[in-house]
Amino acid sequence: MCPPVDETPVNGSNGHANGSNGHTNGTNGTTNGTNGSHEGYSAIRSQHNPHPHNASPYKPVGDFLSNVSRFKIIESTLREGEQFANAYFDLEAKIKIAKALDEFGVDYIELTSPAASEQSRLDCEAICKLGLKAKILTHVRCHLEDAKIAVETGVDGLDVVIGTSSYLREHSHGKDMTYIKNTAIEVIEFVKSKGKEIRFSSEDSFRSDLVDLLSIYSAVDKIGVNRVGIADTVGCASPRQVYDLVRTLRGVVSCDIECHFHNDTGCAIANAYCALEAGATHVDTSVLGIGERNGITPLGGLIARMIVADRDYVLSKYNLKKLKDIEDLVADLVEVNIPFSNYITGFCAFTHKAGIHAKAILNNPSTYEILNPADFGMSRYVHFASRLTGWNAIKSRCDQLGLKMTDAQYKACTVKIKALADVRKIAIDDTDSIIRAFHHNLHNEEERTLLDGLTAEEKKKFAAAEAELLGVKEKRALDEAADAQAEVPAAKKTRTAEVS
């Protein structure tokens, strides 16, 4: 579990090993990462963390059709996620995932069709008996026999789907639009007679004929379907296409609209957001986006986008501090690493390195963060062991270590750290050793070596790098300023202290 934002662990290196699979899973916020491969980071306290909720100056005028502030999540890790290449979820794993998603607060949990296998049917029945707050759905073909099996498992609703593009009609099920419409009506009426919630979705919607789509959606809407669904099955749609289709569909049906977006071309999150802006009501997600091929809209990615759009709504509905636990659980089960760039929980999500960034973040995190890590139980991190390190980051680290110096001395110490980082890659321990030795030499007659173990060649390169950073005149001026501000006369030793 990552430290809360107010904690300031001394050895705050990001990353941890990802459970039994042994893969290093570089998730942000772990205090003392067991893999030891993320040196030079520290969780920090900033001066304040306002993250103002001011409206974006580019925010469009409110649209009465938009559902950005009233969307629902249909979480499909236990259906779409089972189609992921590495996925194998036994009943125990499915129950863990279902409970975790329920604790997070998703509105629906979608399961694999009970008609797929006997074990899928048994799993479906078992999860329906857990008494979760989320509604339980199962995803079935638009086929009466599949629907009959599904309604007996105890699910709250059925998500019915059939391919409508010419590709799928010709090369998959081989049925024409008349057959599809008649079968859809038959299945929907049966499910409704059993008192179950029902969604009808076309498959490969964005390569389907628009007239065909609107005709069948209109027909199922008239007989009382709860939702119609559009699916970007191959991930070909762009946000503009999504907006146009959903907006058009919104003018044809009165029921809810569900959207399912694959991520083959990297547009899944943007497409989901545009769909909600255009009037969609429900979005399908999976944890880490796992699913067929490149997967679908990731749960964390959608939340990252939506909390910026309406923070109060998201915080009121979802337990965001559970997100990291869910992602760690699923990553372990499917034996993958959480990407360094993963939304919210990735190793780099709230990590700052450049000196200009670090200074601003320390003063006001909103300068370079649109998300507040505290909302997710995460910490922000500043990298202070590189050639990009700024003196404000070193000052912050000194505060953590309980070492006080003047601003000029912080700057002089920073020069030495930057110079060493030009010679070789340095770790958090190297930086701390330099800081401690530098501080010691300010206050004691006996000098300490700034860093042990350097070769003669490294010492030579360090001296050259330090001289290059400061120049002779600049270095002398900085040393004189440090002496002038020093609390003790021993500060003059900083002029002669060398790395050895």
Q: Which residues are catalytic?
A: 357
Cα distance between residue 279 and residue 438, in whole Å: 61
Radius of gyration of the chain (CA): 29
Helix (H) / strand (E) containing 278: helix 268-278
Within the chain, what is the greatest distance between any pair of CA atoms?
93
Closest to 25 measured CA to CA, from 324, 238, 272, 317: 324
Question: Would you list the DSSP string of 311-330?
Answer: HHHHHHH--GGGHHHHHHHH
Contacts of 92 (CB under 8 A, 6+ apart): none
* Contact yes or no for 438/497 (Cβ under 8 A): yes
- Measure the CA angle with vertex 311, ends 305 and 313; round to 5°: 105
* Contact yes or no for 269/298 (Cβ under 8 A): yes
CB atoms within 10 A of CB 214: 16
Closest to 371 measured CA to CA, from 395, 400, 342, 398: 342
Closest to 297 measured CA to CA, from 266, 342, 253, 258: 266
Give the three-state DSSP class for 41. Answer: strand
Give the three-state DSSP class for 386. Answer: coil
* Contact yes or no for 450/413 (Cβ under 8 A): no
